[in-house]
Every structure is written in C-alpha cells, then in structure tokens.
Structure 1
Amino acid sequence: MKNNFVAIDFETSYGHIPCSIGIVEFIDGKVVNEFYSLIKPIDLKFNPINSRINGIHLEDVFNEREFDQIWDEIEHFFVDRVIIAHNSSTDITVLEKTLNHYRIHKPNFDSYCTLNIAKSVLDIENYKLSTLAKYFNIKQEDYHNALEDAFVCGKIFIEMFDDFNNKVSRPLNSIKSLRSEVRNYKQYLQINDNSKIIKKSYVWNATDKLLGKTFVVSGVFEKFSRDDLKKAIEDNGGKVGSSISAKTDYVIAGDNMGPAKLDKANKLNISIISEDDFINLITKTNAVTE
C-alpha cells in the first residue's frame, strides 16, 4: 500500500561517490525505523562545491566505515521493498555504482521518484525538495542532511499520493497503480480539477545532470576557483570548453570577464550564468518539461 515504503537519500563527495546515507522506513504512513551514517568515500576525494552544499568534509569521514562495511546493517531496507527518493535516478545510480564497486549483489526493489511525481501533478515555482516541503507545510531544518532529506521525501510522497489521488479521474489504491498512472502522463495529464494540476508535456526520467552540455568558465569568482568549477562540470558529466563557440551551452561569468567574450556569447544566444546560478543548476533536481 501507499503508506509502506522506505525513503532514502545519499549525499556525495563528488560525482556518484557517497559520503553519507539517510534511510527512513514508513509503515502505515508512520516512521518505524531510521538509519544514518557518514561514509568513507572510495577514494577520499571531495569536490569543494559538494562540501559547501552538504557540509561534509574529508576530516568528517576519514575514520568512518566504507559502504561495504555498513551494507549488512541496511540491506534489509532494500530487499523486495518500495524505495522512494527525490530525483531517484541519481540516488539509485549512486547505490548501483557503489554496490558494483564492492561487488555486492543488488537486491530487487521498486523505486519511485517524488521529483517526477511532483512535476506531473503540481504547478509550482520549482520542484526542489525544500520547495515541496514548504508547499506541504513539512518542517525541514537541516536541508542536505541525508536523514532529514529522506524523512521529508517520504512525507512529501504521502502528501502527493493523496493529492494526486484526489485530482485524477479515478482513485488509486497502491503505489503500483500510482507508477502506472503517472507514467501514462508522458504526453498530457488528464485532470478533473486544475487548481494545482496543469496539463503539460512530460519527459519521464529526465535528469538535471550536465551530460552533453559544454561550459566555458570566464572571470574571477567569489566562492570557488575556476578549477573547482571546471571539476564540478566534469564530475556532473559536462564538458569544459576553452573558448566560446556555437557549441557552447553555458558561459559561467565571473567578475572581470572580458567584454569581447560577453558580446560573443550574446550574439550566439548562449546562456550566461553566474557562479550561484551554476551551483543551483547542479544541485536542483528538476526533470525536463517541454
């Protein structure tokens, strides 16, 4: 049933390397079990942008256990269970890559994404976890703490399931029905009440990672060095270009960016974003809509 599931969240040191995990088990809509642990990353590398976001640094995890050492404690949360996550494609990829690294068999489970469900049923400013928490009046004090994010994700799922169930043309009785119903909305939502739901073309399983995007980094930045920003681009699947061209998707513009580069980017209709815009780009988890 809809109220029996496990919500998870990973925080990463860079790319898909986990440095913490939060797990919250819901039975009949109530929290019955929780698990949180810092994780010693596979190669002890940290992207400073990730550390700034999640507050976890190398010194925090140096003496912690690696993932394979905690797996025995958490495996039961995954075996034949329903797993909920916000932008689940990212969290499930982290899990799969980490299990594969340690040659651990991946258990069977079903996974569902609060991000994709929200994009299907709500018309709000954005679909970040924090925004959804505010929308549903769910208290969130420590954003990017894996345990709290997992808890909030679970509560959001329950709220959205009820909201979705009340708005669609026929009631749903299970998570399986919800998955089937939402995925049928790839083209257009059919609704009875448009107070919160809108018709939109929807691309399922979209991701906000930077795969296929080319960036040029120019200027001086307040929070990070250019090398840090370039590493963050590459860690998230993007490419770093040496000069602005028609193949450039974004220019990350800092102070003292040359006017010639700015003019060229404008003439080519290239998106010019700030350092903060870039950080938001790689941390928000919006699926793609058309």
Structure 2
Amino acid sequence: MKVVAIDFETANETRSSPCSIGLAWIEDGAVARVDHHYIRPWDMRFAPFNIAFHGIGPDHVRDADEFPAVLERLRDDLDGALVLAHNASFDVSVIRRTCEHYDVAPPAFDYMCTVQVARSVWPDLPSHKLNVVGRHLGVSFKHHDAAGDAYACGQVALAAASRTGASGVHDLPGRIGLTLGRLHQGGYAPSQARARPRRPVRPPPRLLPPGAETRLSGRTVIFTGQLDTMSRGEAQGLAAAMSARVVLSMSRKVDLVVAGPGAGAKLRSAREMGVQVLNEDEWLALVG
C-alpha cells in the first residue's frame, strides 16, 4: 500500500479554501520525496489572519490551478493509499468540503491521524502539536509550510513505528489500538484512538511578572482554534491566573478572542461583533 503524508493551508476560515498542499511519500521506511502545490482558491479571498499564519497571499497563487486540476494530478497517488495527516480531521475535511464545492468525487483512501499516534506513543509530552513533537524527535522543518509539515508528519509516523516495534507505518494502528479513518465517494469515517484515561489539564507553573495577576482583570476571554506554544487548557489556565473570566461560548459579553489555526464560527462572530481578536504571537506578548 502507498503511504503519503499530506498537509493543507487554507486562504481563509472556510475549509473549502485550500491555497497550498504539501505531500511526503514514505517508501522503504523513510520519507522518499516531498512535493508542494499552490492552489488558487475559487474566490481568491485571503483572510489577513491566515496570511499572517502561513505567509501565503494572492500573489503566490494567482497563476496556480484551482483544486480540481491539482486533485486530478494527485489522484493516482491518493487513491488506495494510507494517508497520514497531523490533525487529520482538518485536512480530510478540506478535501471533503472542497470536493463538495466543486462537485467532484473525492479520492478514496484510509487515513491515520498522527496527533492520535503521538498522544499514544509519547503521552508525557506537554503538547502533541507538530512543532512540539518534531522538536522532541529532533526533526528539522519549516512549520506552517505545507511541504515542511507533511515531511514532519511522515517522520512522526516513522518514529512511532520504530518506537512501538511495528514492522512499518502500516503495522502501527494495530500496535497502538488505532482505528483508521476512511474517505470515499459515499462519505467518510473518522480515525479513532483507543480510549485512555483523561487527565485534567493544568497550566504549567509560570513566574508571572509583577502585576500580571490582574493584567486581564475584568476581561472576558475566549480561545478558539489551535495554539502552538501551549495547549488551549494551559492558555485558559494562564488567562484565569491573570484574573480573566474564561468562557467557552461566544456572546456580546466577550471582549477578547485569541484565535489560532482552525478557528471558525467563533472567529467570524467576533469579527461581526467588533470584538478584539489576537493571534498567538499577540497573545504571548500580552501575557508576557
């Protein structure tokens, strides 16, 4: 079976706006080659938040093909493959939603989420985001670059196979009790990891600068999307330590939104309401 790791970047908050795809093929127990394609979104709408995140803008994709043409070039590589992705629910939903938009058939493949793999194989890491796992494994790559992330995803799967004694990436699900996901023309089934005890998420001990305990006093904060430097639970705990009121649902009482990749409805609502939105770098600057 073919094995290929993929990663998408999107132009805006919708899953049907891919602007870049990276792929890394695994052969004979190693990443054999890496490829990258720009994709021209159907409406060429690039959100400033996304541009700041991955650095891709309209000028990068103006002469690129739209998704159907890119997919056809890659279909033979994807059909019947074992596809790897870090946070696979995002990347698979990009394929599904964009195929639905263009009314084209999706490729048919099994897929494995390397976030679930990393949680099972390295449970004590402070986070299982790709940059954290990659740093733990000594993998050098450019984060938030589709080709770099696909390469790192492949390396995570290979390292996990080696650590668990699996004969290869194909053998990994059976070693860790992971059920592969499946995408096909008739629908999809999610990848599922073996249930494990849930541990409460606590913020790590931090030395706050003088006065930081009240820096967010009186402010209602909500977190949406993924963060790279800390888990969402850690960020919520840090905000609470600074006397913020942390909530989970968007309302007009919210006055600060911290948004990372994958932010959707909450981010859109915040913009419609005129609520202040911070990206991760701005949030880190705020909390010191």
**Structure 1 residues 279 and 42: CA distance shift in structure 2, 3 A:** farther
**What secondary structure does 1:240 align onto?**
helix
Contact between 2:160 and 2:172, CA under 8 Å: does it hold in 1? no
**What secondary structure does 1:10 align onto?**
strand
CA distance in 1 between partners of 2:21 and 2:67 (Å): 9
Q: Are positions 1:240 and 2:237 aligned together?
A: no
Q: Which of the numbers 214, 221, 224 marks the counterpart of 2:250?
A: 214
**What secondary structure does 1:9 align onto?**
strand
User: C-alpha deviations, 1:215-247, integer Å up to 9, x for none?
Assistant: 66637xxxxxx9xx89x89961227379xxxxx
User: C-alpha deviations, 1:88-129, integer Å up to 9, x for none?
Assistant: 000000011111222221222111111112122321121111
2:196 corresponds in structure 1 to 187
Residue 213 of structure 1 aligns to which amino acid in structure 2?
Answer: S
**What secondary structure does 1:80 align onto?**
coil
Contact between 1:86 and 1:114, CA under 8 Å: does it hold in 2? yes
Residue 236 of structure 1 aligns to which amino acid in structure 2?
Answer: G
Contact between 1:25 and 1:77, CA under 8 Å: does it hold in 2? no
User: C-alpha deviations, 1:124-169, integer Å up to 9, x for none?
Assistant: 12111111111001111x2111011101110011112222448xxx
Q: How many residues align?
A: 223
Q: Which TM-score applies when normalising by structure 2?
A: 0.65
CA distance in 2 between partners of 1:149 and 1:26 (Å): 14
1:11 corresponds in structure 2 to 9
Contact between 1:22 and 1:148, CA under 8 Å: does it hold in 2? yes
- Aligned CA-pair RMSD: 3.8
**Structure 1 residues 100 and 81: CA distance shift in structure 2, 3 A:** same
**Structure 1 residues 37 and 184: CA distance shift in structure 2, 3 A:** closer
List aligned pairs for 1:1-290, cutoff 5 A: 5-15=3-13, 16=15, 17-122=17-122, 123-140=124-141, 142-165=142-165, 174-178=171-175, 180-181=177-178, 183=192, 185-188=194-197, 208=225, 213-214=249-250, 218=255, 236-238=264-266, 240=269, 275-276=279-280
**Structure 1 residues 233 and 89: CA distance shift in structure 2, 3 A:** closer
User: In percent, how many aligned pairs have the same letter?
Assistant: 25
Contact between 1:187 and 1:200, CA under 8 Å: does it hold in 2? no
**Structure 1 residues 71 and 172: CA distance shift in structure 2, 3 A:** closer
CA distance in 1 between partners of 2:101 and 2:170 (Å): 38
* Unmatched segments (≥5 aa) in structure 2: 180-191, 201-223, 227-231, 233-247
CA distance in 1 between partners of 2:24 and 2:120 (Å): 24
Residue 196 of structure 2 aligns to which amino acid in structure 1?
Answer: Q
Once the two structures are TM-superposed, the CA of residue 77 in structure 1 deviates from its matched residue by: 1.6
**What secondary structure does 1:126 align onto?**
coil
CA distance in 2 between partners of 1:41 and 1:177 (Å): 38
Residue 153 of structure 2 aligns to which amino acid in structure 1?
Answer: C
Deviates further, 145-154 or 33-42? 33-42
CA distance in 1 between partners of 2:28 and 2:194 (Å): 27
Once the two structures are TM-superposed, the CA of residue 175 in structure 1 deviates from its matched residue by: 3.8
Once the two structures are TM-superposed, the CA of residue 180 in structure 1 deviates from its matched residue by: 3.5
**Structure 1 residues 100 and 208: CA distance shift in structure 2, 3 A:** same
Contact between 1:40 and 1:66, CA under 8 Å: does it hold in 2? yes
* Unmatched segments (≥5 aa) in structure 1: 189-198, 202-206, 220-225, 243-251, 255-273, 281-290
**What secondary structure does 2:103 align onto?**
coil
CA distance in 2 between partners of 1:119 and 1:55 (Å): 29
CA distance in 2 between partners of 1:84 and 1:135 (Å): 19
User: C-alpha deviations, 1:246-274, integer Å up to 9, x for none?
Assistant: xxxxxx768xxxxxxxxxxxxxxxxxxx6
CA distance in 2 between partners of 1:218 and 1:34 (Å): 43
User: C-alpha deviations, 1:16-67, integer Å up to 9, x for none?
Assistant: 1100001111111223343211110111111111101100011221221111
